[in-house]
Structure 1
Amino acid sequence: MDLTMTVTTERGRIDRVITDHFADVTRSQADKWLHLGLVTVNGKTVKASYKVAEDDQLLIAAPEPTVLSARPQDIPLDIVYEDDDVLVVNKPQGMVVHPAPGHPDGTLVNGLMYHTTLSPINGVLRPGIVHRIDKDTSGLLMVAKTALAHQGLAAQLKDKTTTREYLAIVHGNIKEDTGTIDAPLGRDPKDRKKHAVVAGGRHAVTHFAVVERFGTYTLVRCRLETGRTHQIRVHMAYIKHPVAGDPLYGPKHTLPGNGQYLHAATLGFTHPVTGKRLEFAAPLPDYFEAMLVRLRRGDFN
């Protein structure tokens, strides 16, 4: 699978130029290809430190991508609701939603495939998955078991008629009782693994309300109006109150744990077949509750 480009206005190190030009290529992939000699400039192999010049001809002999597929696995699941069309599951922290490079199995999808039949929409890697939450975020997800249900749930997400509320412990003492963050999100131009508030990004709105204050930390309830990648994590960091425990958007000095203290606590939608409004709530995980006890005790002030 050869990738080619001609340098016009791009400048700088070739590894960064490659990842900026080809949206699906990560920095680690580019570095690996350069190390293996799969990248040539004007017919000669170069190192990652090579700085491109105008009219340089790049050729990347990229290997064919590994084809992944999901297989059923007997994984314990916390099923909150299920009927012939839809299913609501309470995902634990640490579980990836669907297979991807680096996570070929042991995902929520693997467990769901063992448990039931899923909508074929989204192909072999994400069957039934209408929306996602991050690996280290816990809480509620709606899953489609039929194509009809999938289309109906996806339409509700697009029309913003679902209810999705999260509880989060964030850094700092938020003075306002309520607030709205309306800031567009897109890929961080400085780090492709992250998202950021960027001009021209996708419309993103998060509403928040303070639930409890602990001095140097605050428990907030966040309601999503839109559902962009890492939306709550990026938005809260944007207003200088990053989610505690967040390894990507938060400070190094934070609350101990295995990831961000973010829990999808409430989920509501209209049943795509019966038309009945359904609302579900998932209690906070034990580790989250235990941290709240320590915060109330003043352990981290």
Structure 2
Amino acid sequence: MKSHALKLTFEMKESSILLRDAIRQYGISKKALTSIKYEGGLILVNGEEKTVRHTLQIGDIVTIIFPDEKKSEGLVAQKGVFPILFEDDHLLMLTKEAGLSTIPSREHPNGTIANLIAGYLEENGLTSTVHIVTRLDKDTSGIICVAKHRHAHHLLSEMQKSNDISRTYEAIVHGHVEKDKFMIDAPIGRKDSSIIERMISPEGKFAKTSVEVLNRFTISGEELSHVKLNLHTGRTHQIRVHMMSIGHPLIGDDLYGGSLTLIERQALHAKELTLIHPFTKEPLKLEAPFPRDMTEIIRFIPTNRT
């Protein structure tokens, strides 16, 4: 398998700065520096290898060569097809179907999106570990962001922490949501009686969700709302728990009080993802096509709008 070592190059715009400090300004973590030093990477200044204590001058060309990554141990690479929305040397943006787990578990070690990504990377000659940045629940459809190397993963993780990755979801919920636009700000914690279920809890982690009603409609006497949601935090089951907490659980979400009459999975779709590309600095806005099962429900909207 051929090598695809990541190489970053930048020119110094100031003088009398330590190489170590200049590297950190470009978002390279201490962990990455250790990996470069001990696992076969290189740090070059004007083509010559230097230590991080080297003092740089204006015009110096710094080149960072990261060591090749090893494949994830225990992750079985499998062939499969998934729609790719965007791909370059650093990022892979794809659409996940509902019913497909994002990562393997003890009970389901194969057949996940991570297995398929591992197979895709292997097929394209890349030895990278699978770095999934934005995960989705098994029965949630939509966009997943994947980093193709550890440095991209680090930068994207930092962007997530600073809320510089915008994620927009759409859902269908029970009832006619009264307000057109509002914010849910309620901490989420694990339910004591379950290893899966979450709940609003004063001892939980801070969680914040923006909600906008797109349409209110009725099907066979059942009042429903089509809503758009933006995550300001990324807690497990955040949207599902927040909407349940205000009396409007997602249809199909029987774990949190939703009915299975119209759909047999939570009607939740990660529709849009927006960010500034961490390497090119270009804005990137991606949209995943709306899934068929949710489309079949909201197609009633034009004639049943209330």
Compute the TM-score of the two structures, normalised by the length of structure 1.
0.71
Which one of the candidate residues 257, 260, 276 is aligned to 2:266?
260
2:98, 2:141 within 8 Å by CA — same for their partners in 1? yes
SS in 1 for 2:255: coil
> Which residue of structure 2 aligns with residue 175 of structure 1?
178
Q: CA deviation at 1:137?
A: 0.3
The answer to whether residue 101 in structure 2 is matched with residue 93 in structure 1 is: no
Given that residues 82 and 88 in structure 1 are in contact (C-alpha distance below 8 angstroms), is that contact kept between their aligned partners in structure 2?
Answer: yes
Pick aligned residue for 2:297 from 267, 284, 291:
291
8 Å contact kept, 2:252–2:267: yes
SS at 1:214 equivalent: strand
Displacement, 1:292?
A: 1.2
RMSD (Å), alpha carbons: 1.7
2:229 is paired with a residue whose SS is: strand
* Change in 2 beyond 3 A, CA 1:163/1:255: farther
Match of 1:70 in 2: 75
Alpha-carbon deviations, 1:109-165, whole Å to 9, x = none?
111111124753xxxxxx211121100000001100011100011001110111100
What percentage of aligned pairs have identical amino acids? 37
Q: Deviations over 1:167-207 (max 9, x none)?
A: 00000001100010000011012333201110121110000
CA distance in 1, matches of 2:212, 2:294: 18
Match of 2:240 among 210, 233, 240: 233
Alignment of 1:1-301 (within 5 A): 69-116=74-121, 117=126, 119-120=128-129, 127-215=130-218, 216-251=223-258, 253-294=259-300
**Contact 2:215 / 2:301 at 8 angstroms: preserved in 1?**
no
Give 1:209 deviation, angstroms: 0.1
Query: 2:160 is aligned with what amino acid?
Result: L
Shift of 1:297: 5.5
Once the two structures are TM-superposed, the CA of residue 230 in structure 1 deviates from its matched residue by: 0.4
Is this contact kept in 1: 2:188–2:199, CA < 8 A? yes
Deviates more, 1:174-183 or 1:191-200: 191-200
- Which secondary structure does the structure 2 equivalent of 1:140 belong to? strand
Deviation at 1:232, TM superposition (A): 0.2
What is the CA-CA distance between 1:254 and the residue it aligns to?
4.0
Is the CA contact (8 Å cut-off) linking 1:118 and 1:146 kept in structure 2? no
Secondary structure of 1:234's counterpart equals: helix
Q: Which moved more, 1:192-201 or 1:142-151?
A: 192-201
Shift of 1:295: 5.7
**Deviation string for 1:224-275 (max 9, x for gaps)?**
0001000000000001000110021123x44432300000000011212112
CA distance in 1 between counterparts of 2:134 and 2:203 reads 23
Check whether the contact 1:119–1:150 (CA below 8 A) recurs between aligned residues.
no
Distance (whole Å) between structure 2 residues aligned to residue 156 and residue 69 of structure 1: 28
In the alignment, structure 1 segments of 5+ residues that lack a partner are 1-67, 121-126
Deviations 1:33-75 (A, max 9, x none): xxxxxxxxxxxxxxxxxxxxxxxxxxxxxxxxxxx82111111
Partner SS state of residue 114, structure 2: helix
Residue in structure 1 matched with residue 43 of structure 2 by the alignment: none
CA contact (8 A) 1:69 1:99 kept: no
SS in 1 for 2:101: coil
Secondary structure class of the residue paired with 1:87: strand
Matched residue count: 225
- 8 Å Cα contact 1:96/1:135 also seen in 2: yes
Counterpart amino acid of residue 198 in structure 1: S
Q: Distance in 2 between matches of 1:119 and 1:128?
A: 8
